[in-house]
A and B are shown apart, each in its own frame.
Chain A
């Protein structure tokens, strides 16, 4: 059974340090006392593996650090390590994430709480290092929990939440934290590093219970079940995902109590929405330029705000619908694409529209595709997003003309 063995010295006061999103995650790995991690190079996620390697070399943490021969092996290594009771960490980006896809899919199917980061990166070809959410979003239907961080602090906090929620026996699902490439993985911010004692209170040791694969507990993992049992197993996954929402709320409440951070809701971060008529809706670091735009637009007298989604899976439908129904119009900003989807919109856009469908009072939803390949969302683009959202609310936009590509050169 899992036994926590601390072999490194730890700080007993909360400290602040300048850290990139990747370095903040490396600190979370140290604090969570991870047992096994597997690395393989690809930008931009692998900053976390470089930061972790330094912590290990300098004796700051004790982790079995395995450099794999490819992403598929990398994700298989942690999957198996997790099955024998290790707390694990892994990650990738863009096409590397796709190279691991078979392993990623079975990890969710096996209900093994692997914690990963996906340093969001455009999918080659053509080559691009910048952020785009299609890598993470590719696993949205498979049973991975998908939170997205806005800041390095949130990256660290979400990582601690990820082990707590994923390893909870009611959930037992893998978690992939979305970190926008470059904007978050590689920009430095002040990060509060919690104490080991506080983290230990928040995060119990990993215990797989009777699912632990060990010679003393001879069980079979991943047997052939065919049509006899597969539906029942899929439904168990579904139920675990349903339970995850409540477990996240519990963990979030505990987190707030212990660390005093995390905002009101674990799922939504609302900015200047109290009196807002229009809101922008999106996830990740695009919140920053949109907040700047909101402050500017408010000076001009426009009642605008931002609702940032923190967990894409599970999609907290009820809460999201309750929040968004208050507004006249919503501009959903997708840093992703879904070619050929309804209204040729982004993934988030169609999720939001679907969630709002059964509401008696439905706000106007306008879709925007912006910032692909790591393109900056600049203020004129934010202005355009606002104007189109406003125009849609007053019925000025043609029906069907609901999704717009922003900042595209002609």
Chain B
């Protein structure tokens, strides 16, 4: 195309990967892609939180404590997997300023997701969309609840929906409503109890899970996106108000 051998036109290239190929072994390649601003390439990470094709094995996107064939719950070890889920869209947004569009979506919010894909392709260059995709087999629930589980993941605050356009972060869908204080964040138990992969959880595990999700909302600079805050002495210099949006509304 560059040499005139093909007609010069915009062709959308969409690369699909799963959580294993995208968040584990292919993360370096996605990172590199997002720096090549001359190429139109949307990377779509389809995250069903395990290596489902090969038998439901643990990936870096498998949530804390979940049962997979690499992390069975046993009589001596209740939880084989105790690592917190890697924050992929957040880290990619933070580290690739030349990517014009990076988003987290979920097909349970179909219009929101369609808009995100459209925006990514429209803005062009290297872009990235990470979707959470409930998996009946891997998560152990009846397929009719797929959409409901997608909703719960967002409503419980576990999977925040957002987009970063040219470096500006917008929370979208119910995530925005929660942040604005218009919607109450549901307890994570509502989400966990619906899936067989968390059936071995005891109260302590649920509390830990809730605590970690709470931290995403109360301590992160941007809820579910940027996992750090600014020290008190630097808040004025950096013009950052560390209070999360919804907490502020509550006190107002």
Contacts and interface: CB of A to CB of B under 8 A. Distances in A.
Contacts of A72: 25
Nearest to B51: A41
Contacts of B58: 67
B80 interface: yes
B74 A41 contact: no
State the majority secondary structure of interface residues on B: loop
Contact of A57 (B25, B27, B57, B74): B74
B194 to A, nearest CB: 23
A56 B69 contact: no
B42 to A, nearest CB: 23
Interface stretch (A43-51, A284-292, A320-328): A43-51
A65 interface: yes
Nearest to B57: A41
Interface in B58-106: 58, 60, 69-77, 80-81
Interface in A54-113: 54, 56-59, 65, 67, 69-72, 99
A49 B74 CA distance: 15
A372 interface: no
Interface string B21-64: 00011010000000000000000000000010011011010000
A193 interface: no
State the majority secondary structure of interface residues on A: mixed
Interface residues of B, number: 21
Given A41-B20, A69-B24, A69-B25, A57 B55 contact: no
B69 A53 contact: yes
Given A39-B70, A69-B25, A59 B77 contact: yes
A337 B229 CA distance: 58
Given A50-B55, A56-B74, A65 B24 contact: no
A42 interface: yes
A65 B54 contact: no
A58 B80 contact: no
Given A41-B55, A56-B80, A69-B24, 14 more contacts: A39-B70, A46-B54, A46-B57, A49-B70, A50-B70, A50-B72, A53-B71, A56-B77, A57-B72, A58-B76, A58-B77, A59-B77, A67-B71, A69-B27
7 contacts: A42-B54, A50-B55, A50-B57, A56-B74, A57-B74, A65-B80, A70-B25
